[in-house]
A and B are shown apart, each in its own frame.
Chain A
Amino acid sequence: MSTEKSVWRRAFEWHEARLPLVSFIDNSVGSKYPAPKNLNYFWNFGSLAGFMLVTMILTGIFLAMNYTPHKDMAFDSVERIMRDVNFGWLIRYMHANGASFFFIVVYIHIFRGLYYGSYKAPREVLWWMGILIFLAMMATAFMGYVLPWGQMSFWGATVITNLFSALPIIGEPIVTFLWGGFGVDNPTLNRFFSLHYLLPFVIVGLVVFHIWALHIPGSNNPLGIEAAPADKIPFHPYYTAKDAFGLGVFLLVYFAIVFWYPNILGDPLNYVVANPLVTPTHIVPEWYFLPFYAILRAIPDKLLGVLAMFGAILVLFVLPWLDTSRVRSANFRPWFRVFFWLFFINGLVLGWCGSQLPEGLPLVLGRVCTFYYFFFFFVIMPVVGWMETPKPLPASISSPVMKAAE
């Protein structure tokens, strides 16, 4: 091989010395980012979430080229996208189902963080950035759901904006301000469209902070112990290859829904144009809001219900201090592990309660599960941390493997 550098190589190095763009990517998610060698498939969901963010922004940009944010034209413009625009049906189904899959991925990502203690020192700010992304996602998804201007869009917007009316004194003025009128109307639709386009780029910014904060301590791992340099491997090609494989499996599921069951996750009532004079008999949010919706309805007081619902997410901010255990991975915490899986099932049951009419069994169950939701954070997290005897931690990531080999 010649020792002379090619002209391309020299041009690349000249540019890189002035703006190290490729080095930046390589340091962030490339060969210069050392990651623990024992990451399991639950660690795929970060890059999957990034993939979904890009997919949502891309499909959204092309949908916006054919969408009209006006109360008299929005519904018809969406139908035109479905019928007349080339591949409009595909782009819209990718976007609508993409929201669901984005949430599936992010929920798994959050539960992975909970199980393996990824929120604990020194990753608290990384965890905060994640919660901010989650909150921004919920706002974006809610406003996006209003845009087709169907019955569920309209009444979902009405109910959710009215949550703020629970606040004493300032509640009513805030709701009027959010609407830009005396009810959900054309000004509301206009601003929701504007913000729905803006917020994803705010999320991109938050993702940059999320990844930046990740790189200070580096990735957590299934054992939850510090990874020694010898126990790390370069992100590229090892985890890029693993993430690419996971992406392929994920895309099979995502597009199976997009192509064969595109409306399975949506409410058929949203194919009826919004009518401000008729409320549907049973209104429910999209599935990803159901657990929080169940918490709202479990509490028989308007203000307390709203506070509990927002509190259910805000409590995550103080989670690093509620958890008194210094052991990260639940694999070494026999008691916490039980309560964690109870919490997971509790979340599913809450979701089911949220989808039912708030009476009889769903209401009682919703209240029991709401109690456990907060009990888990405020009692189990601190108490189990004190009382539990964790299993002995391995000295390093390699040592259990080495011992087994002996």
Chain B
Amino acid sequence: MANMAPAHTPESTGADGETRRDFLLHTTVAFGAVGTAMAVWPLISSMNPAADTLALSTTEFNLGGLQEGQAVTIVWRGKPVFVRYRTPAEIEAARNTPMNDLVEPAKDEDRVKKGKEKYLILVGVCTHLGCIPLGTKAMDARGDFGGWFCPCHGSHYDTSGRIRKGPAPENLKVPPYQFLDDTTVRIG
């Protein structure tokens, strides 16, 4: 730097027309902006799920008490999860549906575990605007396709939980789960 122009006062301009004072101003503002962003980050981050909330993210359930044709609602992360023991007729209806009839094409085989095809496990939240579809209780309306029917805005789901009619854009979600033994399932 010693070979730079002599008499480099704060107001003197460099080759690009920028003064030293401009440089100081810009670095100060840049440091201030970075500092402010770093100060805001913890505040914003504190609104994300806390450690104890994340720790609630698995639920275990025993399928032993479930009868054929019956369905139950269990709670996972504070939200309903549908577990349905499907009849052979319901499984067949789901498997024979042509892909062309589906809004979001998905094979029934891919929505259940192999060897446990009779158990359908779904997040019980309508993909339209978050209501809980009817169809789990014995006397519920099940919609035109024998699965679930959302009373809020009239979405119909089939016996694989796939959207068939109405405003919902996607199939009911399949949560991550695994069978711990023959009748115990862990969701999450």
Q: How far is the CB of A277 from chain B (nearest CB, A)?
A: 30
Contact A59 B43 (CB under 8 A): yes
Q: How far is the CB of A245 from chain B (nearest CB, A)?
A: 10
Contact B45 A86 (CB under 8 A): yes
Contact A87 B42 (CB under 8 A): yes
Q: Mark B121-133, 1 if CB is under 8 A from A, else 0.
A: 0000000000000
Q: How far is the CB of B86 from chain A (nearest CB, A)?
A: 39
Residues of A within 8 A of B50 (CB): 66, 80, 84-86, 88
Q: Which of B28, B42, B52 is the one whose CB lies under 8 Å from A91?
A: B42
Contact A66 B51 (CB under 8 A): no
Q: Does B47 make an interface contact (CB < 8 A)? A: yes
Q: Does B46 make an interface contact (CB < 8 A)? A: yes
Q: Does B100 make an interface contact (CB < 8 A)? A: no
Contact B46 A83 (CB under 8 A): no
Contact A84 B52 (CB under 8 A): yes
Report the bound CA distance from A66 to B53 in whole Å.
Answer: 12
Q: Does B48 make an interface contact (CB < 8 A)? A: yes
Residues of B within 8 A of A90 (CB): 42
Complex: chain B residue closest to A61, CB-CB: B43
Q: Which of B45, B47, B53 is the one whose CB lies under 8 Å from A65?
A: B47
Q: Mark B30-42, 1 if CB is under 8 A from A, else 0.
A: 0010000000001
Residues of B within 8 A of A58 (CB): 43
Q: Mark A60-95, 1 if CB is under 8 A from B, else 0.
A: 001001100000000000001001111110110000
The total of chain A residues at the interface (CB under 8 A) is 15
The total of chain B residues at the interface (CB under 8 A) is 12
Complex: chain A residue closest to B25, CB-CB: A237
Residues of A within 8 A of B45 (CB): 86-87
Residues of B within 8 A of A59 (CB): 43
Contact A83 B51 (CB under 8 A): yes
Residues of B within 8 A of A91 (CB): 42-43, 46
Q: Which of A83, A86, A87 has the most CB of B within 10 A?
A: A86
Q: How far is the CB of A56 from chain B (nearest CB, A)?
A: 13
Report the bound CA distance from A58 to B32 in whole Å.
Answer: 18
Q: Which of B32, B48, B52 is the one whose CB lies under 8 Å from A80?
A: B52
Report the bound CA distance from A66 to B49 in whole Å.
Answer: 11
Q: How far is the CB of A127 from chain B (nearest CB, A)?
A: 33
Residues of A within 8 A of B52 (CB): 80, 83-84
Q: How far is the CB of B35 from chain A (nearest CB, A)?
A: 9
Q: Which of A66, A85, A90, A91 has the most CB of B within 10 A?
A: A85
Residues of A within 8 A of B42 (CB): 86-87, 90-91
Residues of A within 8 A of B48 (CB): 86
Contact A66 B43 (CB under 8 A): no
Contact B51 A84 (CB under 8 A): yes
Q: How far is the CB of B107 from chain A (nearest CB, A)?
A: 39
Residues of A within 8 A of B46 (CB): 62, 65-66, 85-88, 91
Report the bound CA distance from A59 to B39 in whole Å.
Answer: 11
Report the bound CA distance from A59 to B44 in whole Å.
Answer: 11
Complex: chain B residue closest to A90, CB-CB: B42
Residues of A within 8 A of B47 (CB): 62, 65
Within 8 A of B (CB), among A213-236: none
Complex: chain B residue closest to A241, CB-CB: B28
Q: Which of B32, B46, B48 has the most CB of A within 10 A?
A: B46
For the complex of A and B, 7 pairs with smallest distance between CB atoms: A87-B42, A84-B51, A84-B50, A84-B52, A85-B50, A86-B45, A62-B43
| CB pairs A–B below 8 angstroms (27 shown) | A58-B43, A62-B43, A62-B46, A62-B47, A65-B46, A65-B47, A66-B46, A80-B50, A80-B52, A83-B51, A84-B50, A84-B51, A84-B53, A85-B46, A85-B50, A85-B51, A86-B45, A86-B46, A86-B48, A87-B42, A87-B43, A88-B50, A91-B42, A91-B43, A91-B46, A244-B28, A244-B32
Q: Which residues of B line the A interface, CB within 8 A? A: 28, 32, 42-43, 45-48, 50-53
**Apart from A58-B43, A244-B28: 12 A-B pairs, beta carbons within 8 A:** A62-B47, A66-B46, A66-B50, A83-B51, A84-B52, A85-B50, A86-B42, A86-B45, A87-B43, A88-B46, A90-B42, A91-B43
